[in-house]
Structure 1
Amino acid sequence: MMFATSDPSSFMPWYLRGNCDALGHVTPVIADHLSRARLFRLIDQRLSLDPGTRLDEAFAAIRASLFAAGLIGPERHELMPVRLEPYGAQLATIDRSALRALGLWATKIHVNGLVEAEGTLRPRVWLSRRSASSNAAPLAYDTMIAGGQPAGASLVETLAKESEEEVGLPRRLSATARKVKDIVVRYESELGLHREVLAIYDLSVPATFQPDHRDGEIVESALLDWPRFQAAVDGSLPMKFSSRVVSKDLLARLGQAAERDRLTSMPKAL
């Protein structure tokens, strides 16, 4: 499934070593800067990474140049995989701070935290509010757990780490999360072009659970009943784009399941 809200014509594709498929997409401002810095080559309107350098070294130089020019924020000290395709092999790594500016693929885990609600087939849903200092969508709401998959980590490892850091969820509980599906999204923000695989999980959380925000990325959590969750997804609360996509999917899936259960439980006409 693909959700796209960006206009590709507003970004310039760039290529690696003559490859036919674009490795990333950049704004004209960044394309001009990297060309002038001789980190990218522009030949016959085709933008490409200098093939004479090692990729990891090239990406480190690109990140440093973009930061020095004020085009991206400071180093995040978290290496992300560079892939030609959403599920392709890792070609290199790059610091997270430059990922969006270069329009590279990323994989993110999203965990729907669900609490059984008495007397209804639809659960209550945890949402987490991002801090005011977040690089993307400050003070907007996320799914209960959301985070990028760094280089060298599996999805399960990423889920366990983010669960502990963002809401204090013990690993014995995060290990029970159920993988539901992947959704591929493409959208733009002030950071650049986001191209993401959203790996979606559902997790049943005890009613006694209280989030413990440990890494400073989340400032508060909200446990919403189903009508309030619907309203939040419809716009009553600010939500990060990818989390709204995941939440809409949850509404559709569990709403349909609840309706099927309701119809199944109805007495049959004689």
Structure 2
Amino acid sequence: MPVASYAIAGHGVRNFISSSSSSIHRHNFPFTVRSILKITPLYSPFNRNYAAAAVSSSSSTRDITNSIENAGNFTWNDVFEVSQSENGSSDLGGFFQKINLCNRGSEKRFDFIPFVIEDQIVGYVHNGFVDHLSKFKDVFTIMKDNAHETQSGHVTLQSALKTPESRTEALGNVVKCLGEEVFPGIRNELYPVTSSYGGRVYFSLERAAAPYFGIKAYGIHMNGYVEKDGKKYLWIGKRSETKATYAGMLDHLVAGGLPHGMSCAENVVKECEEEAGIPRPISSRAIPVSVVSYMDIDGYRFKRDVLFCYDLKLPESFIPHNQDGEVGSFKLLPVTLVGDVIRNTEFFKANCNLVIIDFLFRHGFIKPEDDGYLKLLQSLRSGDCS
């Protein structure tokens, strides 16, 4: 019987237990645990059989015409023409499918080994990707599994790299050496590497490299909405066609990764100005309302993302204006239409779907009477929210 794999989120680990269909491996780390305060599953998926059934049962009512690779090839007219599914707003199957798109590859989680810094698991590295790291012997130490000497037990950094600054510099040189061929989309933007939100920062890492080390990444997404004539509308952006990632896809009015040394509230204000031209007197009214999380495995990439969700009620007269060139245009859409676009197409950048589905719950567009209500709500936090 397979044994569930557990990570000790934010705390020391002595034994990391993993399993596959044929064997169970125990990784003994050469350090002492001082405290274990919280145990969370490496992967805690919702009931995927239920989700699959929900999607299958409603497939005849949905026309998903765009693959993820070509999802940006549409116009605003295509968005406006999306009609409500035959089953009405109570059909949650399309929402389950979008959440699945952010939580792929759970069956491959045992292909990854822990990335450990100072007795803490800060990430996970694919066994195949270890071959790249093993070339940098002055930076990485590949510890073997005591029970299986031919298998890697975990990855850590050389003991000479004792400070966050020295680690950041060393990892930065690795990223530069391996370059775009290994880490496509290098942005020269650093993410803090920590075992839990608000915890100690061990070093900073290029954003494009973060999924290859399986580090936890945090971000903010803001729903900018308007109320008029008793109805709610969401401002939606269409990403620039020149963006390196998800070009031309629909996106939130404001969203961004959480840089090192900046609070969520400060980041919201900064991103509001850069992405939508929202002045501080208005953006400072944004309210933190929720969190969504997901774990997505794609090849050597292990994304473990946590998104802090904000709502901002905007004046009817406000018109957003992008300042940084990352958004091509904005449209104010009825919330009901936005829900149908998520349900019936792949027009939105994948993780935006989760944040907007959360908005639909909180504003009463998804109701307890809808079949699958609790399962869908639970699935919005399929990742580790520590």
User: TM range, normalised to the smaller chain?
Assistant: 0.7 to 0.9
Q: Which moved more, 1:27-36 or 1:171-180?
A: 27-36
Say if 1:30 and 1:71, in contact at 8 Å, map to a contact too.
no
| SS of the residue 2:212 aligns to | coil
Tell me the TM-score normalised to structure 1 length.
Answer: 0.84
Residue 192 of structure 1 corresponds to 301
Change (3 A) 1:190 1:7: closer
Supply the distance in 2 between the matched residues of 1:18 and 1:151 (Cα, whole angstroms): 19
Matched, 1:66 2:178: yes
Unpaired runs of 5+ in structure 1?
Answer: 260-270
Change (3 A) 1:201 1:190: farther
Deviation at 1:55, TM superposition (A): 1.9
Residue 117 of structure 1 corresponds to 228
Supply the distance in 1 between the matched residues of 2:117 and 2:192 (Cα, whole angstroms): 18
Say if 2:126 and 2:300, in contact at 8 Å, map to a contact too.
no
Residue 33 of structure 1 corresponds to 132
Change (3 A) 1:74 1:12: same
Supply the distance in 2 between the matched residues of 1:47 and 1:132 (Cα, whole angstroms): 40
Supply the distance in 2 between the matched residues of 1:229 and 1:129 (Cα, whole angstroms): 13
Residue 154 of structure 2 corresponds to 47
| SS of the residue 1:99 aligns to | helix
Percent identical pairs in the alignment equals 27
Task: Identify which of 13, 21, 41 aligns with 2:113.
Answer: 13
Residue 163 of structure 1 corresponds to 272
Aligned 1:134-145 pairs, distance under 5 A: 134-145=243-254
| SS of the residue 1:255 aligns to | coil
Residue 210 of structure 2 corresponds to 99
Supply the distance in 2 between the matched residues of 1:91 and 1:15 (Cα, whole angstroms): 12
1:16-53 per-position Cα deviation (integer Å, ceiling 9, x unaligned): 2463x532223444321111333433332123122322
Matched, 1:214 2:326: no
Say if 1:17 and 1:51, in contact at 8 Å, map to a contact too.
no
1:144-183 per-position Cα deviation (integer Å, ceiling 9, x unaligned): 1110110111111111111111111111110000110222
Deviation at 1:74, TM superposition (A): 5.8
Deviation at 1:258, TM superposition (A): 9.5
Supply the distance in 1 between the matched residues of 2:205 and 2:197 (Cα, whole angstroms): 16
Q: Which moved more, 1:163-172 or 1:28-37?
A: 28-37
Deviation at 1:219, TM superposition (A): 1.3
Deviation at 1:59, TM superposition (A): 1.8
Opposite residue 50 of structure 1, the aligned amino acid is L
Tell me the TM-score normalised to structure 2 length.
Answer: 0.60
Change (3 A) 1:147 1:60: same
Supply the distance in 2 between the matched residues of 1:61 and 1:223 (Cα, whole angstroms): 44
Aligned length: 255
1:199-245 per-position Cα deviation (integer Å, ceiling 9, x unaligned): 11110111222111111211121211122111122133511222100
Unpaired runs of 5+ in structure 2?
Answer: 1-43, 46-98, 145-151, 369-386
Deviation at 1:100, TM superposition (A): 2.2
Q: Moved runs in structure 1, 4+ residues, more than 4 A? A: 1-4, 256-259
Deviation at 1:97, TM superposition (A): 2.6
Residue 78 of structure 1 corresponds to 189
Opposite residue 76 of structure 1, the aligned amino acid is R
Matched, 1:183 2:292: yes
| SS of the residue 1:195 aligns to | strand
